[in-house]
Amino acid sequence: MLTKKQWLECLDKMDDMYPDAHCELVHENPFELTIATLLSAQCTDVLVNKVTKTLFQKYKKPEDYLAVPLVELEQDIRSIGLYRAKAKNIQKLCQRLLEVYNGEIPDQREELVTLPGVGRKTANVVLSVAFGVPAMAVDTHVERVTKRLGLCRWKDSVLQVEETIMKKTPIERWNKAHHQLIFFGRYHCKSQRPGCHACPLFDVCREGQKRFKKGLVEQ
Q: Considering 76, 139, 168, 176, which one is annotated as catalytic?
A: 139
Active site residue 139: yes
Active site residue 203: no
Residue type, 145: V
Q: Considering 15, 76, 107, 121, which one is annotated as catalytic?
A: 121
Query: Among all residues, which ones are annotated catalytic?
Result: 121, 139
